[in-house]
A and B are shown apart, each in its own frame.
Chain A
């Protein structure tokens, strides 16, 4: 079964019962490279493994980029 979430502003389907840490692993994103915002709350690194993703959740994967 998959559930619908919003990932970086776009609709996405992910497996049920995923944690944020396991989603990052599937996306091949190193956790220390991004800041994760889960339903508008910034997760600390140690919270990634315990944060379960539910249908309708909003996730943002954020990084520093070049800018002025």
Chain B
């Protein structure tokens, strides 16, 4: 008997979000890195398809002339090599998020926008009403909208109904690296939504990423866990391997759980008598 080898490895099937085609399911943040050079080495190690960015004022010096701070922060990074996912970080109202999204579109020349409307400065948890309203407004404006949301299952469903192209629930508050805090809700969001679910925020170690990918998350977004690791490029590589392993495990299908032990070795023919 011969077993046909599949021509295409399903684990490498790209993720499509709007017009974007992602061959890597690790979305790489670009904030909080020790330097541009370190960020650049992380990107070379992880080889992401998509990177996130923020939209900010150009820093101007005291005389109104751009000083050293005005050099392009991402000067060492070839942004043209990546699908850009700008965010609306810094917005606390729908109006601010919509304005930032339009500036992001003009700067990135991309319709993709990660909507962030923060509802509480200390936890940086999203404002549910503002996130939903901003998603509706930006979908109407023709954006491909990926809202950052909490682990609230019903809100995630409402965001999908509002036209989100993907939904991005956080595992833990932004920048904490606390890892998965509400496994059940993340799993329910992954189960219930038809659009891709991208686990965003708070992941700490590669096993967190592998775990959510095993559950069927479409991708993960990792920033601080890489940027603040002792060796960021090595951690970037570890996350990319974990995401691939988790995706492959999801497609492979986990073994059934048994509450009683089941011997792996044959029970007969044991030379004990």
Q: A68, B174: Cβ atoms under 8 Å? A: yes
In the complex, which residues 46-101 of chain B have their Cβ closer than 8 Å to any Cβ of chain A?
52-58, 60, 64-66, 70, 72-74, 79, 84, 86-87, 89, 99
User: Known contacts A7-B64, A62-B55, A68-B224: does B103 contact A35 (CB below 8 Å)?
Assistant: yes
In the complex, which residues 9-44 of chain A have their Cβ closer than 8 Å to any Cβ of chain B?
9-10, 12, 14, 27-29, 33-35, 37, 40, 42
Contact among B56, B60, B89 for A68, CB-based, below 8 A: B89
Q: How far is the CA of A12 from the CA of B64 in the complex (A)?
A: 7
Q: How far is the CB of B112 from chain A (nearest CB, A)?
A: 13
- B103 neighbours in A (Cβ, 8 Å): 35, 37, 42, 60, 62
User: Known contacts A8-B58, A42-B103: does B65 contact A66 (CB below 8 Å)?
Assistant: no
Interface residue count on the B side (C-beta < 8 Å): 39
**The stretch of B24-32, B241-249, B253-261 that contacts the partner chain:** B24-32
- B102 neighbours in A (Cβ, 8 Å): 42
Q: How far is the CA of A63 from the CA of B29 in the complex (A)?
A: 16
For B39, B58, B70, B223, the residue with the greatest tally of chain A CB atoms inside 10 Å of its CB is B58
Interface residue count on the A side (C-beta < 8 Å): 24
User: Known contacts A35-B106, A66-B39, A67-B89: does B66 contact A29 (CB below 8 Å)?
Assistant: yes
- A35 neighbours in B (Cβ, 8 Å): 103, 106-107
Q: B57, A62: Cβ atoms under 8 Å? A: yes
- A68 neighbours in B (Cβ, 8 Å): 29-32, 52, 54, 87, 89, 174-175, 201, 221, 223-224
| Nearest-CB residue, chain B, relative to A61 | B58
- A66 neighbours in B (Cβ, 8 Å): 29-33, 39, 53-54, 73-74
User: Known contacts A27-B60, A29-B58: does B52 contact A63 (CB below 8 Å)?
Assistant: no
Tell me whether chain A's interface is mostly helix, strand or loop, or mixed.
strand
In the complex, which residues 220-236 of chain B have their Cβ closer than 8 Å to any Cβ of chain A?
221, 223-224
Q: B65, A27: Cβ atoms under 8 Å? A: yes
Q: A61, B72: Cβ atoms under 8 Å? A: no
Q: B224, A7: Cβ atoms under 8 Å? A: no
Binary contact readout A50-68 vs B (1 if CB under 8 angstroms, 0 otherwise): 0000000000111111111
- Tell whether B23 is near chain A: CB-to-CB under 8 Å: no
For B31, B33, B39, B174, the residue with the greatest tally of chain A CB atoms inside 10 Å of its CB is B31
Contact among A33, A61, A64 for B53, CB-based, below 8 A: A64
Q: Which B residues contact A (CB, under 8 angstroms)? A: 29-33, 39, 52-58, 60, 64-66, 70, 72-74, 79, 84, 86-87, 89, 99, 102-104, 106-108, 174-175, 201, 221, 223-224
10 A-B pairs within 8 Å (CB atoms) are namely A35-B107, A40-B99, A62-B58, A64-B53, A65-B55, A65-B74, A68-B54, A68-B87, A68-B175, A68-B224
Q: Which A residues contact B (CB, under 8 angstroms)? A: 7-10, 12, 14, 27-29, 33-35, 37, 40, 42, 60-68
Contacts beyond the supplied A66-B32, A67-B53, A68-B175: 7 A-B pairs with Cβ under 8 Å:
A27-B64, A60-B103, A61-B58, A62-B107, A65-B53, A68-B32, A68-B174
